Each structure stands twice: as structure tokens, then as C-alpha cells.
Structure 1
């Protein structure tokens, strides 16, 4: 059982839900392994202080791998919301991670 205290609780819950739903979806998915790897990565990130760009990258890969599967739409949406919550929870770090656009 994963710990659910401290930061990342919503992210851990969303990852666990999507992992369960994906395990129950027995149909062939060409990018299932990618999704499973990125879900594991998101779970690791939730236990620490994840870098915003890593969160975004993992979410993008999961969404690309599973986004077309209607049965997984709700858990993918919940994962997206959890990532957004995590990004809001770390506003100073988000600002540092984004490259500044040159001013014209």
C-alpha cells in the first residue's frame, strides 16, 4: 500500500485509479507499456517534490498513449486534474522551470 500523507495525495490517488482501470482494460493497446512506465514515474514524483516539466511530460505521454480509449477517459481526466493541482501547489517552482520568452 502506498502512503497517502503529505504532498501528492491527489496525484497518487489518480495514478492508482488509472493503474487499476488500465489493468482491467484487457484490449490490446500499442502504447500500454509507455503509459504504465509513465504512471510509475508519476507515482515516484508524487512522493517527492516533482519538477513541473517532468509532471507535464509524463502526463503528456500518458494522455497520448491512452487518450483515445473512451473507457479510460474519466481516469485520464482525473490524472490531468491531479497534475494541475500539484503544479498549483508549487507555484514558485513552476515559475523557475519555465523558460523566459525574449522581449521584443
Structure 2
């Protein structure tokens, strides 16, 4: 079973629905990025971060701060491409399911 199949299988076995939602969003983002025909300067970085997110999903125990870091790098890599805005927004929404960063207190 490939990496993506394992993600789908985790959802069927009653895993964390947040992880399943993140897996769906990452797969969609990967499909949309792969289908985007134009040359993107930061495509490799986006692909690397999608790989990181997919591995995190596969592990079943994503750390919110790591998810946010990957999201920031992914957004920096593809954020200016309007055609990729909807799948990027889906990844952002899935990451937000894991909570917000704690606020620093002074």
C-alpha cells in the first residue's frame, strides 16, 4: 500500500477525523500542484512540504506547531498562484483543526 493509500485507510479504521481531513486536503493540494502547468520557482519546496505533511498524516500524530510550519512554507511557495488558492485554503483549514498556537504572555 502506498503512502496515499495508507492515509485513506487510516480514515476507514476510525482514526482521528482531523487527521483524515488533513490527509484529504494534502492529497488535493498535491493533485492540483501536479496538474498546474506553469513553471513555479518554488515548486520543489512546495512538493517537499507536501511530503512532510503526508508523512505527518501517515504517522497519525501530527504536532500542531510542525503543521503550522509546513503550512507557512507551503503558502510561501504557492501562495501567489490564484489557481492553487482553494486547495491551499483547504490545507490551512485542516491544519487549523489541530488548534491555534499558544499566545505568548509578557
TM-score interval for Structure 1 and Structure 2 normalised by the shorter chain: 0.7 to 0.9
Tell which structure's C-alpha radius of gyration is larger: 1
Q: Which runs of 5+ in 2 are unaligned?
A: none
Q: CA RMSD in A?
A: 1.7
Structural mapping, 1:7-46, within 5 Å: 7=16, 8-46=19-57
Contact 2:49 2:74 in 1 (8 A): yes
Q: TM-score scaled by structure 2? A: 0.80
Q: 1:101 aligns with which of 97, 102, 105?
A: 105
Q: TM-score scaled by structure 1? A: 0.81
Q: 2:75 aligns with which of 58, 63, 69?
A: 63
Q: Does 1:2 align with 2:2?
A: no
Q: Distance in 2 between matches of 1:82 and 1:63?
A: 14
Per the alignment, residue 91 of structure 1 pairs with none
**1:41-94 alpha-carbon deviations (Å, 9 max, x no partner):** 011111221111110000000011001001001000001001111x13xxxxx7
How many residue pairs match? The answer is 94
**1:9-67 alpha-carbon deviations (Å, 9 max, x no partner):** 00000000010000000211011001000011011111221111110000000011001
Q: Distance in 1 between matches of 2:96 and 2:103?
A: 19
